[in-house]
Amino acid sequence: MPIPPFVTDLRRMVGDHELWLPGVTAVVVHEGAVLLTLRADNGQWAPVTGIIDPGEEPALAARREALEETGVEISVDRLASVGVIPPVTYANGDRACYLDLTFACSWVAGTPYAADDENTDARWWPLDALPPMDEHLRARLEAALSGECAARYRSGR
């Protein structure tokens, strides 16, 4: 799985100590279906996710991640939720904790496919027939699909 260069630089300085990183989730909807990726690292289905680069606008990061991971162009419609993802320990021992900004998004163009090595599949899933997914991912989907105008602020603990 590709690690952003700035994270690689940080890891050289701090080793595997827990990093606090900003991330995005793009919940992309089109014709009653949501775009999901099959993650290469854990074999689980998830919406598009990624790390925000230093100085990058979060909504632009969501657009970039969707294109990089699935080949799909999107519009970012609104901020749906803000929350902290439970701490993660990767196979190499690196630890991270993420502040997640989840965006409700719409399809603009493109047919989904696994466009990078972070995922092994990308496809549309009917909203009424979603695959098994972690509870924290389902909460992000629910917030983005709720149609609410205000963002939800999740309590991760």
Q: List Cβ neighbours of 57 (8 Å cut-off, separation of 6 or more).
A: none
Q: How far is it, in rounded angstroms, from Cα 102 to Cα 99?
A: 10
Output the tens digit of pLDDT for each of the chain's 157 residues. Answer: 578 888 888 788 888 888 999 999 999 999 999 999 999 989 999 999 999 999 999 999 999 999 999 999 999 999 999 999 889 998 899 999 999 999 999 999 999 999 999 999 999 999 999 999 999 999 999 999 998 888 888 765 5
CA 146 vs. chain centroid, Å, equals: 18
pTM equals 0.90
Q: Residue 127: which H helix or E strand, with range?
A: none
Phi, psi of 32 (to 5 degrees): 75, 15
